[in-house]
Structure 1
Amino acid sequence: MTRDNRLYLAWVVALAATLGSLWLSEVRLFVPCVLCWFQRIAMYPLALLLGIAALRGDLGIRAYALPLAAVGWTIALIQNLEDWGVIRTLKVCSVGQTTAGCDVKWPVWGGGALAGLNNVLTIPVLALIAFTLILGLLAWGRKERG
């Protein structure tokens, strides 16, 4: 069993992203879009699996967590590229009436002094940052101690 702080940090990022998304949807009542749901499908298991792996010192989790984080990162990137106008909308968010459109800009930071962040640090950007951090922390090679 080997302790690796990067595994704990990846778990903290996944846990914060999971709790943050739950807070935004269940407390602030923001309705997740379809792409957000797909990202949650990738992030929520990471919060559980990385926590268990960190406690056990199981670096083998990287083989399972990296692909899951990569899928979430790809979906987050697509959503951000759509938001930034780099690619055309995939129209996936127009399906169904129970979700918000992917182009909805929720006021994450409120209306006070931090209101300017609502145009920069959107929910899709925060998701992309979280997946990027997890990928970086898990992909970072470990030197053998000798």
Structure 2
Amino acid sequence: MSRDNRLYAAWVIALIATLGSLYFSNILGFKPCVLCWYQRVAMYPLAVILGIGALRGDLSARVYALPLAGVGAVIALIQNLEDWGLIPVLKACTADATTVACDIPWPLWGGGALAGLNTILTIPVLSMTAFILIIGLLSWRRNRSI
């Protein structure tokens, strides 16, 4: 077994992202859109896989975690590109009777001095940041001990 702080850091990021998404939807009442659900499908298992890998010192957990993080990052990127108006909104992202549109800007910071962050630090930006950090931590080259 080998302890690796990067694996622990990736786990903490996945855990914070998982708990944050649950807080946004279950406490604040934000309804997740289709792309948000897909990102959750990628993030929630990361919290478990990386947690077990970190606690066991099993660096091979990266093999399972990197593809999930990669898929989640691509989905988050697509959602951000839609939000920024760089690509057209996907048909699956338009609202109907059972779903929420993917381009609804949920206010994270309320009013006051931090209100300007609502247009910069959106939930999709936070998600993409978490996935990219996890990918970076898991991809960081390790020195092999002799």
Q: Judge same fold: TM > 0.5, yes or no.
A: yes
Aligned residue number for residue 9 of structure 1: 9
Runs of 4 or more above 3 Å deviation: none
Aligned residue number for residue 48 of structure 1: 48
CA offset digits 1:64-86 (Å, max 9, x no partner): 10001000000000000111111
Q: Is the 8 A contact 2:49 2:64 kept in 1?
A: no
Q: CA deviation at 1:2?
A: 0.3
Deviates more, 1:63-72 or 1:88-97: 88-97
CA offset digits 1:16-68 (Å, max 9, x no partner): 00000000000000000000000000000000110111000000011110001
In 2, Cα distance between equivalents of 1:11 and 1:32? 23
Aligned residue number for residue 21 of structure 1: 21
CA offset digits 1:103-143 (Å, max 9, x no partner): 10000111122111000000000000000000000011101
In 1, Cα distance between equivalents of 2:25 and 2:133? 23
In 2, Cα distance between equivalents of 1:11 and 1:54? 7
1:65-84 aligned at under 5 Å gives the runs 65-84=65-84
In 2, Cα distance between equivalents of 1:143 and 1:109? 41
Q: Which amino acid aligns with 1:33?
A: C
Residue segments in structure 2 that go unaligned for 5+ positions in a row: none
Q: Which amino acid aligns with 1:53?
A: G
Q: Is the 8 A contact 2:81 2:87 kept in 1?
A: yes
Q: CA deviation at 1:94?
A: 2.4
Aligned residue number for residue 136 of structure 1: 136
Over the aligned positions, Cα root-mean-square deviation in angstroms equals 1.0
Matched, 1:59 2:59: yes
In 2, Cα distance between equivalents of 1:105 and 1:2? 42
Aligned residue number for residue 118 of structure 1: 118
In the alignment of these two chains, the number of paired residues is 146
Give the TM-score, by structure 2 length.
0.96
3-state secondary structure, aligned to 1:114: helix
Deviates more, 1:95-104 or 1:7-16: 95-104
